[in-house]
């Protein structure tokens, strides 16, 4: 079976993890946490990166930092992972779902302004498939209405918009290092703080509401409870597993891009024949080959395709059930405007296997199998 995803595994990871085990410094904020945050700050030109236990945790931290209160509204796409919404719903917010663009599957920046109300406290954008949203327009709206922007850049590590790393453009960026993402530590993430007004409080919230980070830096002589907070910091086991991948970030990225290009180039003829649609990457964006998706005519054709591929031992998957049509979405959110693309486009989309070190023969076999299927329909 060709799996849909395989976590990056580098033999060197064992050395770093073993060092942590032997050092007995296994809690959070040790050597590898510092190395990973410093690496990202330097390579992404990010003012501050705080490692977290997940992207979900990083999103939850932004909701606390933005002081989201019951009744507040948060604008976001409906076509996203549940954590984008839940992080804010946990603080009592209502999700205001906006339609997506059919080309990138990202929030339609032209529809955001209409969704703003007196109660809007944040705009959360999702860089789907590691392809950036139209950030210039989104940041203009943010400045015009003085509403902060959170980038859910879970899928966007190592991708850029107009030369800027995704996650470093809004007030906050949230990365995921989950097993299914380009770089992984099992479960993990990071919060990028671009608006330095939030920096001091972010450290406190991440450290159970205490000023322990200041204490460790020797800035105060004892640490105490100063604010609300939780435990958002990952253990050194996880972070040390990630570190080796960051050192090889370009190589991992290039390898994925190569597989992505193979899919794109070989499937282009079916797009030209009007059989499928392929992803669009706007010229402002460099992507990170987080995923390769294509779109069939409708949900029935997609299901038949997934079944056919499964028979041929290739795992292809779809996502997301749009949040506004889920139980949680109906309870905690509302769709504004017309659902022109969210439901229709999400029903057509399927993801092909994509991971680091996907082999040439595997890619060939996947393409040949798609060709067999195309000849049948």
Nearest distance in Å: CB 178, ligand PLP: 4
Which secondary-structure segment (H or E) carries 41? helix 31-44
Among 20, 55, 68, 309, binds ligand PLP (CB under 6 A): 55
Q: Does 56 bind ligand PLP (CB under 6 A)?
A: yes
- Return the residues of window 79-108 that contact ligand PLP according to CB under 6 A: 80-81, 83-84
**Cβ distance to ligand PLP smaller for residue 345 or 370:** 345
| Residue 344: both structure tokens together | 């229709």
Distance (Å, whole) CA 208 – CA 148: 24
- Of 180 and 315, which has the nearer Cβ to ligand PLP? 180
How many residues touch ligand PLP under the rule CB under 6 A: the total is 14
Task: Give the length of the chain.
Answer: 377
Alpha-carbon gap, residue 1 to 319, rounded angstroms: 20
**Quick one: 184 or 213, whose CB is closer to ligand PLP?**
184
Indicate the residue among 176 and 213 with the shorter CB distance to ligand PLP.
176
Residue selected from 32, 50, 51, 54 as contacting ligand PLP according to rule CB under 6 A: 54
Cβ count within 10 A of residue 272: 10
List the one residue out of 109, 124, 40 whose CA is nearest residue 323.
Answer: 124
Pick between residue 58 and residue 66 the one whose CB is nearest to ligand PLP: 58
Which DSSP string corresponds to 182-248?
SS--SS-EEEEE-SGGGHHHHHHHHBTTB-HHHHHTTSSSS--B-S---B-PPPHHHHHHHHHHHHT
Contact 372, 125 (CB under 8 A): no
Span interacting with ligand PLP, options 51-59, 224-232, 273-281, 350-358, rule CB under 6 A = 51-59
Q: Cβ 133 to ligand PLP, closest distance in Å?
A: 12
C-beta closer to ligand PLP: residue 123 or 126: 126
372 class by beta-carbon count within 10 Å (0-12 exposed, 13-18 middle, 19+ buried)? exposed
Which residue stretch of 25-33, 78-86, 218-226, 269-277 sits at the interface with ligand PLP (rule: CB under 6 A)?
78-86
User: How crowded is residue 331: how many other Cβ atoms within 10 Å of its Cβ?
Assistant: 10
Our CA dihedral for 127, 130, 136, 139, rounded to 10 degrees, sits at 40
User: Least distance from C-beta 270 to ligand PLP, angstroms?
Assistant: 27
* Distance of closest approach, residue 104 Cβ to ligand PLP, in angstroms: 13
Instruction: List, edge to edge, every strand of the sheet that includes 160-161.
Output: 164-165, 160-161, 285-286
Helix, strand or coil, per DSSP, at residue 179: coil
Q: Looking at 189, 229, 234, 322, which residue binds ligand PLP (CB under 6 A)? A: 189
For ligand PLP, the closer of residues 211 and 320 by Cβ is: 320
Q: How near is the Cβ of 176 to ligand PLP at its closest, in Å?
A: 3
Binding mask 123-152 for ligand PLP (x = CB under 6 A): ---x-------------------------x
Nearer to ligand PLP by Cβ, of 155 and 369: the residue is 155
Note the residues at the interface with ligand PLP (CB under 6 A). 54-56, 80-81, 83-84, 126, 152, 154-155, 176, 178, 189
């Amino acid at each position: 079976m060709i799996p849909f995803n395989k976590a990056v595994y580098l033999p060197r990871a064992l050395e770093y993890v073993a060092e942590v085990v032997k050092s007995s410094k296994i809690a959070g904020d040790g050597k590898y946490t510092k190395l990973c945050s410093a690496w990202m700050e330097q390579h992404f030109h990010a003012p501050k990166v705080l490692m977290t236990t997940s992207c979900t945790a990083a999103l939850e931290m932004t909701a606390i930092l933005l002081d989201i209160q019951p009744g507040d509204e948060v604008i976001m796409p409906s076509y996203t992972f549940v954590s984008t919404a839940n992080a804010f719903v946990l603080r009592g917010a209502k999700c205001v779902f906006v339609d997506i663009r059919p080309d990138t599957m990202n929030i339609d920046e032209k529809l955001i302004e209409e969704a703003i109300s007196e109660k809007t406290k944040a705009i959360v954008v999702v860089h789907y498939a590691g392809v950036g949203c139209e950030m210039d327009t989104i940041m203009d709206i943010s400045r015009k209405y003085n509403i902060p922007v959170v980038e859910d850049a879970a899928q966007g590590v190592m991708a850029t918009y107009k030369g800027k790393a995704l996650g470093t453009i809004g007030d906050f960026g949230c990365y995921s290092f989950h097993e299914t993402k380009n770089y992984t530590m099992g479960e993990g993430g990071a919060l990028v703080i671009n608006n330095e007004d939030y920096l001091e409080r972010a450290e406190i919230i991440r450290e159970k509401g205490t000023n322990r980070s200041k204490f460790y830096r020797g800035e105060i002589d004892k640490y105490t409870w100063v604010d609300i907070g939780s435990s958002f910091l990952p253990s050194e086991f996880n972070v040390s597993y990630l570190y080796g991948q960051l050192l090889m970030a370009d190589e991992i990225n290039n390898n994925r891009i190569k597989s992505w290009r193979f899919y794109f180039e070989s499937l282009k003829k079916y797009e030209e024949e009007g059989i499928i649609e392929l992803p669009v990457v706007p010229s402002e964006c460099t992507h990170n080959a987080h995923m390769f998706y294509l779109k069939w005519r409708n949900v029935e054709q997609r299901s038949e395709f997934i079944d056919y591929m499964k028979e041929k031992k290739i795992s292809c998957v779809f996502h997301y059930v749009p949040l506004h049509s889920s139980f949680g979405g109906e309870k905690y959110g509302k769709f504004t405007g017309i659902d022109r693309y969210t439901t229709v486009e999400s029903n057509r989309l399927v993801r092909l296997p994509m991971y680091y070190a996907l082999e040439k023969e595997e890619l060939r076999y996947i393409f040949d199998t798609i060709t067999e299927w195309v000849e049948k329909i």
